[in-house]
């Protein structure tokens, strides 16, 4: 099969549309003919040599894809050849075919384009497992979402609104903030010229946000704690602002606050806190909202797989609102 190869580590130019060994489904797995693959910041880090795949995972980038089931492995009972699916992966999505545990599949609604569906599994798993499972976001609470215009952010806004929460977001342009407003955000903060701590406090009578979903890491750590409400949850899912920061434990203790740092890719396939557990929860509780159109994929651009480097450049720019996906083949 054809797949994206890494010709060393470095810039987008190291992504080459080459060849790879055809996968075959093991016990409990299915083989997918890939139609499209989502592009995530983890892919950019892998390309740079900063985020290697977990042991046993494919060296081909790509943490999510959509397509059609081509073959069933032994023991698979709940899926059929020809089913339209999207999948959460540990790697391998930038390819014509990928094998994935059946427990990491989600059905694609009949009226949804498979290209758009490729941008859902990673954000759905990340947002649901962090906002809901970890932080327990519920109606009436205030959530602050950093990077509101990104793939995670645009999905998180919709999920939070469906949970009945009040949504504040940060973004770096008026255009991104307007799109966040259209998706349901109520408090719009341009981080370039506003202090999100002051704005969030001002909109919550000084209490702060009950939940903060943070993609920045170190550079926002102290300010996030300052913006946190009593008994609040700060959930760190990214390191765009660095990996080492100073935590004022006294400030955190004074708020009875919690700091969580999580990712999805390195979770086990099965068991407590696993990918299978997350996907089962997503399918049962979030997927009905996807199927009825209450939560929609937000796709900024679709790029041909042979131009994966251009897709990485686009995601690394400040222009993207939502997800970038790679088209592998037509439906």
Q: What is the pLDDT of residue 11?
A: 97
Cβ contact 235:214 at 8 Å: yes
pLDDT by residue (tens digit) across 292-328? 999 999 999 999 999 999 999 999 998 999 999 999 9
Q: Which residue has the tokens 């139609």?
A: 35
Q: What is the pLDDT of residue 279?
A: 98
User: Widest CA span of the chain, in angstroms?
Assistant: 58
Q: What is the pLDDT of residue 241?
A: 87
Distance CA 132, CA 174 (A): 28
Nearest to 189 by CA among 203, 204, 199, 178: 199
Given phi > 0 = left and psi -120 to 50 = alpha, else beta, which region is 226? Answer: alpha
Low-confidence ranges of the chain (pLDDT < 50): none
Task: Please state the three-class secondary structure of the chain as a single string.
Answer: CEEEEECCCCCHHHEEEEECCCCCCCCCEEEEEEEEEEECHHHHHHHCCCCCCCCCCCCCCCCEEEEEEEEECCCCCCCCCCCEEEEECCCCCCECEEEEEHHHEEECCCCCCHHHHCCCHHHHHHHHHHHHHHCCCCCCCEEEECCCCEHHHHHHHHHHHHCCCEEEEEECCHHHHHHHHHHCCCEEEECCCCCHHHHHHHHCCCCCEEEEEECCHHHHHHHHHHHEEEEEEEEECCCCCCCCCCCCHHHHHHCCCEEEECCCCCCCCCCCCCHHHHHHHHHHHHHHHHHCCCCCCCEEEEEEHHHHHHHHHHHCCCCCCEEEEEECCCC
């Amino acid at each position: 099969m054809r797949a994206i190869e890494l010709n060393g580590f470095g810039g987008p130019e190291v992504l080459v549309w080459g060849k790879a060994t055809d996968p075959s489904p093991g016990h409990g797995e299915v083989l997918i003919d890939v139609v499209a693959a989502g592009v995530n910041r983890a892919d950019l880090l892998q390309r740079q040599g900063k985020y290697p795949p977990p042991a046993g995972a494919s060296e081909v980038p790509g943490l999510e894809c959509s397509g059609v089931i081509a073959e069933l492995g032994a023991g698979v009972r709940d899926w059929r050849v020809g089913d339209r699916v999207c999948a959460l992966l540990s790697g391998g999505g930038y390819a014509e075919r990928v094998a994935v545990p059946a427990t990491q599949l989600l059905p694609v609604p009949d009226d949804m384009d498979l290209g758009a569906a490729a941008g859902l599994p990673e954000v759905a798993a990340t947002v649901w497992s962090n906002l809901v499972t970890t932080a327990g976001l519920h109606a009436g609470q205030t959530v602050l979402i950093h990077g509101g215009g990104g793939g995670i952010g645009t999905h998180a806004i919709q999920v939070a609104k469906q949970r009945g929460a009040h949504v504040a977001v940060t973004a770096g342009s008026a255009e991104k903030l307007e799109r966040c407003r259209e998706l349901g955000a109520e408090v719009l903060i341009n981080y370039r010229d506003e202090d999100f701590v002051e704005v969030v406090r001002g909109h919550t009578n000084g209490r702060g946000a009950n939940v903060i979903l943070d993609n920045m890491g170190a550079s926002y750590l102290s300010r996030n704690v300052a913006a946190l409400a009593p008994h609040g949850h700060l959930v760190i899912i990214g390191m765009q602002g660095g990996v080492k920061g100073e935590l004022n434990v006294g400030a955190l203790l004074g708020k009875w606050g919690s700091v969580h740092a999580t990712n999805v890719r390195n979770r086990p396939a099965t068991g407590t806190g696993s990918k299978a557990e997350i996907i089962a929860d997503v399918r049962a509780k979030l997927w009905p909202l996807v199927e009825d159109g209450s939560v929609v994929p937000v796709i900024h651009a679709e790029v041909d797989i042979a131009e994966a480097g251009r897709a990485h450049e686009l995601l690394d720019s400040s222009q993207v609102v939502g997800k970038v996906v790679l088209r592998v083949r037509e439906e």
